[in-house]
Amino acid sequence: MTTVSKDSPSILHVDLDAFFASVEQRENPEIRGLPVVVGGLGGRGVVAAASYEARKFGIRSAMSMAQAKQACPTAIFLAPRFDLYSEASHAVMEILGGFTPLVEPLSMDEAFLDVSGARRTLGDGLEIGQLLRARITATVGLTASVGIATSKSLAKIASEDAKPDGILVIEPGHEIEYLHALGVERLWGVGPVTREQLTKLGIITIGDLASRSLDETISALGPSQGNHLYRLAWNQDDREVVPNNSQKSISHEETFSVDISDRKLLEGKVRRLSDRVGERLRSQEAATRTITLKIRSHDFRTITRSRTLDQTTDRSFEIAQAAQRLLKTVDIGGGVRLIGVGAQIAVSDQGIQESLAFDGPPRGHLEVTLDAVRDRFGPGAVVSARDAVDSPDQAPKKRTKGGSKKTR
């Protein structure tokens, strides 16, 4: 068990870096490292996203495409593919849900998490942030920046300051010092119009705003906005992370850096993904009857296969069996760039029905025990002997911390 200070911040804001553009670079390795701009390609098109390489030329979201082309004529200009972005977003949200049920998505590419319930097994907010960033990169092929603080508003500011591909902790007791040095436009709710109003009053930084009385702020901005911004300037943000409880399915995916056509290797990937799906089902005391296999081929075609079981289950073994049968129906000759296993959550008054089959391990405490080991030491802590032989890189490794930033 990990010992964590009760004062350790546990609110995380996770924000995918240059999301649309990064997905396009992930899908096409030839444009990685190049300025990429996603948006409307028509005469009145606007920029939806710009890679960090494009941002060096001053290209920003909401800029007209005409201006962007003037700023960097050699950039790669692409029309958005929202189905692809939605797919990547779903995969990331599934990963976040594996760390805590308290996930509040804000948009396709960002979410708040409350990890206070996971700290005893996974470590403090920094350790959890590092784990989930690594898992997002390994599984979805994207980078994410993470801010960690005692409030939602400050965690969001921290993730902005951690970009790109970084992590930043605002330690308890240092919030006001950190906040008051920032420009007032960094507060949630301060747009160009409000910023101009505040500038006319001589309010440039958050500290300037905090130095005014509440009455002055309300007089300048009105009761609702004045009170809201004054509270945020003093880090008075007690909003809780409110999860989206409308989840209908659980899935896990893996994107490969090189297309795979080895069926035996893909079967091993399916087993490991099925382990993750089963673990998620058991953690939510849920079950499934419908298993889905998703494959993206070398030519970017997405193939989906589903199988309905005779009875509900939460067993990883049975999920893997069904998914591997589905894999046998797919032609993988040209290579596979992504594979995923999903389970539709069953709605049943009967709960999980015990299997009468004798071709698998008995249901009981074994899988629950393995879940606890993986929670403590990471998903690679326990692998089957077959998987270890088929894919040696799946053997457990010593976990090391990456670079991170931490306020003092």
Helix (H) or strand (E) holding 371: helix 365-377
Q: Is 248 exposed, middle or buried (0-12, 13-18, 19+ CB in 10 A)?
A: exposed
d(CA 281, CA 163): 33
User: Catalytic site residue 110?
Assistant: yes
Annotate 69-126 with DSSP letters as a single string. HHH-TTSEEE---HHHHHHHHHHHHHHHHTT-S-EEEEETTEEEEE-GGGHHHH-SHH
d(CA 291, CA 346): 11
Using an 8 Å Cβ cutoff, are 10 and 119 in contact? Answer: yes
Buried b (16+ CB within 10 A) or exposed e, 87-111: bbbbbbbbbbbbbbbbbbbeebbbb
Residue with tokens 């760039």: 337
Using an 8 Å Cβ cutoff, are 52 and 17 in contact? Answer: yes
Using an 8 Å Cβ cutoff, are 40 and 28 in contact? Answer: no
Kindly name the residue from 110, 175, 254, 279 that is annotated as catalytic.
110
Is the Cα dihedral 107, 109, 110, 115 positive or negative?
Answer: positive
Q: Is 19 exposed, middle or buried (0-12, 13-18, 19+ CB in 10 A)?
A: buried
> What are the catalytic residues?
110
